[in-house]
Structures are given as structure tokens and as C-alpha cells.
Structure 1
């Protein structure tokens, strides 16, 4: 599998391909089918771990695929993934055509100025209609080749494993036209595509090498994080001594988690690495999520109620994914704001921050020690930890829903016709009447109506029959009641013939 050398140090490298498309259109199925048929595995059994990228072999050539998440919550990460790719495959189901996430993927591809191929998947299904898909794509300003455009189309069936070889052929053809070459003699450069904390091995990052050769023992800098490479593995989990352009590699030796999407560069010596890291200290924040800074810097709208949060996650990419998902919760009455955020376990400092900011803490795939939990309980700070991102969304949705004013429903319980009035003092009136239907009970509410119009509302605080206090008077019975108007500014004189509509209020919790 030799690469053709263009000049000293410069070689043709494998293309890096990102696969995008609407959820359920078969992106994962296509990737799985390629894995099963073409993965360049060194051992029987193929891929042994998921690192966000893998390599497949077609003929005698390698292709690197970015395995990016496909749900809306990860659209921001997916967009960043497209920026590190040489080309894209846009997957569209032949039986469903263009969907919302298809349009989003097209936007990502165009913004990154990537050449791309349309993979018409599920071509084997009875409802498949390739011509409609091409027409709908034209509506998104994507003109395929047989519609007079330049975008190639390959019809495939991931289920039947048909058209995959043709798709790989087209990827290599596009790559050849792009003339992908890199100089291996330069210092290694690339991008971080995943990072997390492993209990046994410490901080781990998956990197995609773009230039140069990365070797064990090199110092590597990503943003403000600098570390010395202790070990490297390929996508199969096999140890590596070096990594070349377009190769995904798992790196250990980081002092902290480098941010997803951050470019890295290698350095020969520690001093050089530390200097490079120091120069990056003033970089603007990677995530738009936190550009507002702490709550004080992010002005809250007085007309809304706010849920305040401290968020801790396992990897930096999770922060962006959570923000993207939370932005889907919209309301004119309530909102959320982030007091603080970070990567790593929930600590005593987080509890103190939440207490000062009147916030609750959310953890995503991070440990919560018994001592921290006890401190949170003592300070009455809410702490919730999750392993699934969509459980966080539902939790926050529920917390925000609890801030909504409840819907008030009137449940009628009876009617009383006024036969006599006896006494009035301020907002209190003593009257007598007959229960026309249902019952009249102490503590119930009442609308005083006249000719169908509501004069005022109030509460029945006393019921008497034959001058004896009772809790309730039923239909057909005459009784005396004490009525207290709810609004002192809206008091009318109750008169004979008025009707009291008796009811109980039920408060119904609202949801977002």
C-alpha cells in the first residue's frame, strides 16, 4: 500500500471523509457496512474501540472516515468535524428525500467549502424515488451531475451492501482531483476530534494528523494544554510508534483534556511546548455557549424566570453538545443561564459556586464523591448526575417547567341563588340563599353573577343552617353564608336574585 512520493518529504495522503445526513437516513448503516467490508483491520474482529474515526481500505488505497454523531444535539460537534475533512458524503434516503437535518448538513458542507458526494441510500426500498431526491436537492441549491451540476451521485443500499464499492471509487476519484499531499518532514500538526478522562490511563485524546509525523516522546500542544506523548494507538487499539498524515490516533500523556476541534502542533522540547501553550492563553473561548461568561455578565430578562446551572462534564465536547440541545427548549416565560462550567468531577468548589449563584449542579458522566454530595445536601444545593445527554435535557426541561405559573382550572361544585342580604363590612357580606344545584361548602370559591355577568369573585368562609355552623349545604337547602371578596378594590353589593357560581380551583402544572 505504497504512497507515491511527489517530492522529498511530500507524499500523497489518504482522503479524510465526513459522512453527514438526516437521522435515520442510514449514515450509521453505511459506515457499518463499510467497516464490515473494507476496514483495514490488523486483527480478526475489526474495530475494537470507538474513537471517532477509522480507516478503510479500497483496492490498495486507504480512506479515513470521521464517525461523527448524527443527532441534532451534536450538530455543533459535527460541524467542527466537517472542518477537518477533505470531502463529505451526504446521505439521503431515496424513499424520504430531503429532511431538516439534510438541509443542515448541506449548510455545514457549504460553509466548510467541501467537495461532496450524494449517497442515495435505501435504493432497494419500494418507495425509493431518486428523481424526487434530485429535484429536492436542487431546491437546496445542490445540482447533481445529471441535472447539469457538478455533484456526483451514487445509489447505494447499506442493507443489501450494494453500491458501496462504487461509492468508495467515487471518494478516491474526488480525492485524486483534490491532489491531497502533505510534507512529512514538517512538525506534526492536526486536530483533536475527541477527548476524555480514563480512570486507568488519565487524560486521553483522539487526534487526526494533518501534517508531519507524530512520534512517541514528542511534546504536543493543543490550545493551552501541553503534554508529552506516552503512548499512541490506532483505531483498532493497536500500539503505534508514529502516526502519519490522515491517520487517526489515540494519545495519552495529557495533563488535562484538550478541547474538541482544537488544532494541535508537535514540539521537540518541553520549553518550546510550554512557550507555544503560553502564547495560546488569551485565545477566545472555543464555545459560544460560554461567551457570556458568568451570570453577572449575561444580562437576564426581568420578564422571565431563570433556572441557574453549574455544569460539569467528562469531555469538553459534551459542553457544546449540551448547549446545542438545551437551546431547543424555548419559552417566553422561563429560561436557563449557566453560572459556571468545566470538565472533571463535581467538587466542593462547584457546590460553593452553585450556592453563591443560587444554582443547581448538573453532571454528565463525571464522579460525585460522598463528601461532595453531603456538602450539597447541607447547603441545600441540588445535584443531578447523568450518563445520557438527553436525560439532562429532560431534567432541565422539567426544572424549567416547574418555574412556569400553573394553569388554573375552575371545577364547578354548585349554585346558590341570593334570597336576602343582611350585613356588609368592608369586603365581607352576610347573605342568605337557596342551593340551586350541587352544594355550597366552607372554603370554596364563588363568582357573584348578575344577568350572566361576573360582578366580583371571592371565597365562602362560613356556612350556616338554622343559625348553626355547617361545613356544607346541599341542593334544595336554604342557608346563610359569609362571603369575602378577593379584591378589596373590586367590591359590589350583593343583591336579591344574584347567583353565586360555586367552584374549586385546580392548579395544573404546565410543561415545556
Structure 2
């Protein structure tokens, strides 16, 4: 559809698929693309953003180009979901017809509302025996999401991502919502958009997946994002096919960056190197005015007195961000996990050397390999390296590591309190007195605190115990006589608290 401006034409929508973990987002995309992509993810969980471009032909025969962005549902990837919403023109919020609204459903909804992005509710898993579409709509209404027919105007489609039932209706709805948004772009200007993924490959170097929101990019141009830049020599589509040119709303991968672009940053393409350099210099000036960023200091909080130093390596920029976010949450009153260094790619010998320079340092890898020199050096230096494929497995291990490494502290645990009624005699530090149990118990040999006016004024130990003139090992109620050994002079009305020292 041509607009009044001859250079501005209709563009296909960028659609983010969002929702709670295991509600079927990747399965839905898999059906649309007729692929088995979800099976490649560890534990069936999508660990980073994936973008795919499809051509859909409606029942009326009209063709639509739609770019889908798959975002993870695990709570650790909340930041990625926010970017998914901000890059999208339309969001499909997937909700299970079995489970209804879940925590990540609400987090995704919050991201959608903050970005003012139009969205569609996809009620999935209608093929399941426990599926209840009406109950799911009610669950949505109870959480402030009012679909059509339930007091609102939010469109919804019931479907099965497994069988494909309802999927054509969803695609029709996406096309309708996109038409209502009047999405346009200008192919004659240099491309701009957002970086949704960044990776480090030993052989290929640094690559970034970008979504073009406007303009066109061609081989021979330059691309910048933040302080990172790349000549456009190797450009691929989502299938890995080499491209000479790309335009909106395509997902592209650019290989050959001089540094890792930050996920979520915008990108701009330039016709020549000089324009790209000028853009980078302007960016540096802005960051200098803002006192720089904290990219090289992932953990900017002051670590607690006792901490585990950690080096984190991940397969992608978004995974790295999620890992650091999770690690920071694990801080306790007496122990913290302090990320001293992080990066993308294989665990290298240099990572192990850095770990060796810090006491109790651990190298954690996520979906990455350990090269042979790093393994050998780690064995010699007794450096611990742990690798994971699923983020909650790392969480479980790290929580346990923090617990086992937390220094024990001695804690006085109260056993009982007695009130001093009368002092019978005092010879040096030995004091014989009568008392009454107020709570708990007092035992022979136990340590005690002498308390006066709610303040501890000294300590001592129970040397003898008698109740009704009979020696005993403990007293749990009533009045009794005792000998307390203490340098503190005890007076009637004082309280004596018996306690035991334990390590926690």
C-alpha cells in the first residue's frame, strides 16, 4: 500500500510472542514455521531471543510478511521480555487454557502496557483434556485483562499450537491489528532498529541479530550500536543465508563487530566509514558527560564482608545479563556472590588465570565449552569451573555453594529465664540464691546471663541446683535454690537467663 509520501510504504509487523514458561510460545512458532526449533533448547526452555520471518497468505489470498520474536518465559529473562515488547509492533500473549494466568504472564503484560504495544491473547492448549477457555478468560479478567466478550476490547484467539487448530485465525488477527496500526517505512533511508541478540564465536568473531524497523541496509555500508561498529560484509537472514540487501521488518545477523553490542540498544546504518566514526565519537562524548557506563563492572554493589568471587561466561549477551541479574539476587546478610568479570564465549585460559587471582573464585559457564588449556590450568590451580545449560540449575547450585561457604557464627540460644528471689550467701565469686522459673528451664552446668533492668550486666555458670532440698540436674518450674559462679554481684529482682552457644 503506497502512502502519500512516495518513499513511504506499508511494512510487515514485528510480532513478539510472550507468556509464562511452558505455555507453548515456542511450540506455536514451531508450528507456524513448520520446524522443530523448540527441541533444540535445553529442558525445552527458550534461553534467548530468536527471530524468524514468515510469509502468510490469508484466506482472501493476501500475502503478509510477519517477523516473529520469541522471548523466554523464565522469570530471569524479564529484561529480555521488556525488549521483546519494545521492538514489537504487535504482541501475542500466550496463556495456557489449562493453567490460566501465571506470574510471567503478568510480568509480560506489564512490559506490554509500559511499551503501549497492541496485543492479542492466544489461549493455547485447547487440545488438552483439562483445557477450559472460558475459565481462562475469567482468570484474565480477574487480573485486569478484559478480552472481547468479557467487558473489554482485547482480541483473543483459542488455539492448539500442537495441532494447529486456531493458528490461521491468530495470523488473520495479527494482520488485522497490524493494518489498524498503519505500519510504514521508508526504504530509501539507511536502516535503523534494535539489537536483540549478540554473540561471540571463536571462528566468526562477534555477531549481532538485529530487527530492522525502518530503512535499508546493504553490503558496503557500516552499522553502529552504542560504541560498537561493524562493516557490513557478512549479513545473513534468519536461516543463515547470505544477503546483499535487507529492509524492514527483517531480522538480520551482522558478523564482524569490533566489540559486543549491548542487547536492547538501537542500531543505525551508515553509508560510509566516516559517518560511522562520527556517530561513535558523538556516543563517546555523551557517555563521558554521563560518567561512562558500568559495562565492565557488572556487580556495582558493595559486596558483603564474605563473598564468592565469580567469573561468568555465557553464550549470548541476553543470557549473560540474565545470569548476572540472578547472581545478584542471591546475596545474603553474611555472604554474597560477587561477579568480578563477565564475557561472551568459551571459557578460556585467561578466565582461569583471573579466577586464580581471587580467593575462592569460581568460573561459571552457561551454554559454553571449556577449552583444553583452561581445563589443564584449572586442574593445576585447583580452580573450580561449573557449566550449566538451564538457569535454575545454576541458581540451585550457587545457593548451595553460598550456604556451604558462609562462615559459621556463634549464637547464644536462650534455654530459660528465672527470677532471683533471695540471696543467701556470697563467698568470692560463689553466690547461693533462691529463684523461680519464669519460662523454659535452667540446667546444671549451663551458662547464664545476669539481667538487670532489661540489660545484661554479666555472665556466670550454674554450679549447683536444688529443688525442695534435693540435688537435681535441671529445674523446669517452681522455686529452687542454686549456686551461681560469677564475678558479677547478683541482687534480688535480677533475672538469670540460661543459654547455650550454637554455630549457625
TM-score under structure 1 normalisation? 0.72
CA distance in 2, matches of 1:352, 1:102: 40
Q: Say whether 1:360 aligns with 2:359.
A: no
Q: Closer, same or farther in 2 for the Cα pair 1:281/1:311, shift >3 Å?
A: farther
| Residues 384-395 of structure 1 aligned to structure 2 (within 5 Å) | 384-395=386-397
CA distance in 1, matches of 2:323, 2:49: 20
Contact 1:346 1:366 in 2 (8 A): no
Matched residue, 1:396? 398
Q: Say whether 1:456 aligns with 2:458.
A: no
Consecutive unaligned residues of structure 1, counting only runs of 5 or more, are 40-49, 409-425, 428-450, 459-487
- Give the SS at the match of 1:204: strand
User: How big is each residue's C-alpha offset from its partner over 1:222-269, in whole Å with a ceiling of 9 and x where there is no partner?
Assistant: 111111011222112222111110101122222232221111111112
Q: Say whether 1:181 aligns with 2:170.
A: no
Q: Closer, same or farther in 2 for the Cα pair 1:349/1:240, shift >3 Å?
A: closer
Q: Closer, same or farther in 2 for the Cα pair 1:80/1:456, shift >3 Å?
A: farther
CA distance in 2, matches of 1:363, 1:121: 34
The Cα of 1:276 is off from its aligned counterpart by 1.2
CA distance in 1, matches of 2:355, 2:92: 45
Q: Closer, same or farther in 2 for the Cα pair 1:64/1:370, shift >3 Å?
A: closer
Q: Closer, same or farther in 2 for the Cα pair 1:127/1:313, shift >3 Å?
A: closer
Candidates 182, 200, 203, aligned match of 2:203:
200
CA distance in 1, matches of 2:324, 2:408: 27
User: How big is each residue's C-alpha offset from its partner over 1:452-506, in whole Å with a ceiling of 9 and x where there is no partner?
Assistant: 6323359xxxxxxxxxxxxxxxxxxxxxxxxxxxxx9533325794449xxxx9x
CA distance in 1, matches of 2:404, 2:286: 38
CA distance in 2, matches of 1:283, 1:309: 31
Q: Closer, same or farther in 2 for the Cα pair 1:329/1:456, shift >3 Å?
A: same
CA distance in 1, matches of 2:409, 2:166: 56
Q: Closer, same or farther in 2 for the Cα pair 1:164/1:267, shift >3 Å?
A: same
CA distance in 1, matches of 2:287, 2:362: 27
TM-score under structure 2 normalisation? 0.73
Matched residue, 2:125? 122
Q: Say whether 1:319 aligns with 2:308.
A: no
Candidates 8, 13, 16, aligned match of 1:15:
13
Q: Closer, same or farther in 2 for the Cα pair 1:26/1:51, shift >3 Å?
A: closer
User: How big is each residue's C-alpha offset from its partner over 1:132-178, in whole Å with a ceiling of 9 and x where there is no partner?
Assistant: 22222223222212123221111111222111111000000000000
CA distance in 1, matches of 2:281, 2:387: 34
Contact 1:313 1:365 in 2 (8 A): yes
CA distance in 2, matches of 1:268, 1:214: 9
CA distance in 1, matches of 2:296, 2:222: 33
CA RMSD of aligned residues (A): 3.7
Contact 1:35 1:56 in 2 (8 A): yes
CA distance in 2, matches of 1:308, 1:51: 29
| Residues 66-85 of structure 1 aligned to structure 2 (within 5 Å) | 66-85=69-88
| Residues 36-115 of structure 1 aligned to structure 2 (within 5 Å) | 36=34, 52-59=50-57, 60-115=63-118
Matched residue, 1:471? none
Contact 1:340 1:353 in 2 (8 A): no
Matched residue, 2:336? 335
Candidates 151, 155, 161, aligned match of 2:154:
151
Matched residue, 2:23? 25
Q: Closer, same or farther in 2 for the Cα pair 1:292/1:133, shift >3 Å?
A: farther
Contact 1:233 1:240 in 2 (8 A): yes
The Cα of 1:191 is off from its aligned counterpart by 1.1
The Cα of 1:129 is off from its aligned counterpart by 2.5
Candidates 463, 467, 476, aligned match of 1:493:
463
CA distance in 1, matches of 2:210, 2:249: 10
User: How big is each residue's C-alpha offset from its partner over 1:316-375, in whole Å with a ceiling of 9 and x where there is no partner?
Assistant: 222211033335546444332222333355453773476257643333345555555565
Matched residue, 1:267? 270
Q: Closer, same or farther in 2 for the Cα pair 1:388/1:29, shift >3 Å?
A: closer
Q: Closer, same or farther in 2 for the Cα pair 1:79/1:284, shift >3 Å?
A: farther
Contact 1:346 1:363 in 2 (8 A): no
Contact 1:351 1:381 in 2 (8 A): no
- Give the SS at the match of 2:461: coil
- Give the SS at the match of 2:259: coil
- Give the SS at the match of 1:61: strand
User: How big is each residue's C-alpha offset from its partner over 1:180-224, in whole Å with a ceiling of 9 and x where there is no partner?
Assistant: 001111111111111212233222211111111111121110111
Q: Closer, same or farther in 2 for the Cα pair 1:341/1:51, shift >3 Å?
A: closer
Q: Say whether 1:242 aligns with 2:245.
A: yes
- Give the SS at the match of 1:98: coil
Matched residue, 2:32? 34
CA distance in 2, matches of 1:157, 1:383: 42
| Residues 436-455 of structure 1 aligned to structure 2 (within 5 Å) | 453-455=442-444
CA distance in 2, matches of 1:490, 1:290: 54
